Amino acid sequence: APLAGVIGLPIVHSRSPRLHTHWLKRYLIDGHYIPMPVMPENLAEVLRALPRLGFVGINVTIPHKEAVLTLADVVTDRAALIGAANTLIFRPDGKIHADNTDGYGFIANLRQSAPDWTPDHGPAAVIGAGGAARAVVASLLDSGVGELRITNRTRVRSEQIRSEFGARVIVYDWAQAGNMLEGSATVVNATSLGMQGKQPLRIPLDALSPDALVTDLVYTPLITPFLAEAQARGCRTVDGLGMLLHQAAPGFERWFGHRPVIDDETRRIVLE
């Protein structure tokens, strides 16, 4: 039976094993998906050993998403641009192929959750400039958004994104985050603020149009204070769980040969 899994540290909180195991059962596939805690100093050795143990690929999470790029034989353009990989394929010829499906998952979830959303509705506004934000920025630009506004507490990180991703990116100061929302059609929280046990994301929403689609990458809780506030202003919102589910689908298909469906049952299983 083919093996896949996820490496990270810590790894116990990962929802991926539940998700992939559900799909394996649902599609009657004889395979296994295993969570594996891996320390940074063991990463290279682990990547060499896994194919020999019968692994066809793995997901990669914190703190290994950047380091695997230097150890892979083939890196997709989008993984290189984002600067991180979340999906590895161990090819039969022994080569390690590294991809980043986070941005794909972000857009696929938007398209499934808000079918009438299109990138040409207007500017997109991204709050945050960390690893997750880079994937969101790459995918929004790729999908054809004409103007991408970005703000981050640490301004240099958004300026770095502008210098790498080009002139469609417009940097706003963290203190101007509220102004950034004016005229924005798509608004994304890509910071970790709003997560259970953390402070909520607090930016003035007075300029936010009720026509804007507002989404959050945080999914614990599903309705973050930021999404609740946007809803109160009449905005349609999309929660972050869908991105987690959609980013997992390409890996599952490559490893196990079946494109998984993402529906309410999938959401329920992962939340249980």
The contact set with ligand ATR (CB under 6 A) reads 128-133, 152-154, 157, 191-193, 199
Segment (H or E) for 181: none
- Minimum Å gap between C-beta 230 and ligand ATR is 18
Q: What residues act catalytically?
A: 65
Q: Which is nearer to ligand ATR, 29 or 216 (CB)?
A: 216
Q: Which is nearer to ligand ATR, 10 or 94 (CB)?
A: 10
Q: Which is nearer to ligand ATR, 21 or 192 (CB)?
A: 192
Tell whether omega for the bond before 37 is within 30 degrees of 0, i.e. cis. Answer: no
- Minimum Å gap between C-beta 8 and ligand ATR is 12
Q: Which is nearer to ligand ATR, 203 or 245 (CB)?
A: 203
- Minimum Å gap between C-beta 10 and ligand ATR is 15
Closest CA to 224 of 247, 207, 201: 201
- Determine whether 153 is exposed, middle or buried from the number of CB atoms within 10 Å of its CB (0-12, 13-18, 19+): middle
DSSP state of 41: G
**CB burial string 197-225: b at 16+ within 10 A, e below:** eeeebebebeebeeebbbbbbbbeeeebb
Closest CA to 250 of 141, 135, 131, 87: 87
Q: Which residues contact 3 (CB under 8 A, 6 or more apart)?
A: 31, 32, 33, 34, 53, 54, 55, 56
- Minimum Å gap between C-beta 261 and ligand ATR is 27
